A = this chain, B = another copy of it.
Amino acid sequence: MKDEKIVEVDNALSLDEETLFEVSQTFKALSDPTRVRILHLLLQKEFSVNEIAENLQLRQSTVSHQLRFLKNLRLVKYRREGTTLYYSQDDEHVFNLLKQSIEHAKHQ
């Protein structure tokens, strides 16, 4: 009798642990109103930490903490200019999800 081969199932929509983690992590980034507001602002253009705080009426540390979160997930990046850090989009797919969902929510 021949050896059975273990076949790796990999449908387009199968859901291994790693994918499950990444998908839910990504959505978690978009599940908090403060982060959504920050990301929404960055749809326009890059902003410094203080500019984001002023624009959205948030504390500097709140913004900084959330930017760290978003940076860890590689959803945003920054460039430095002196002491100022300008944050901007770094994940086309996620920003598209956000745009898509905002537009959809408004046409409900």
Residues of A within 8 A of B (CB): 12-13, 15, 19-24, 26-28, 30-33, 36-37, 40, 43, 93, 97-106, 108
Contact A27 B24 (CB under 8 A): no
Contact B20 A33 (CB under 8 A): yes
Q: Identify the closest chain B residue to A93 (Cβ).
A: B104
Chain B nearest CB from A10 CB (Å) reads 8
Contacts of A98 in B (CB 8 A): 23
Contacts of A36 in B (CB 8 A): 15, 20, 23-24, 27
Contact A43 B108 (CB under 8 A): no
Contacts of A37 in B (CB 8 A): 15, 20
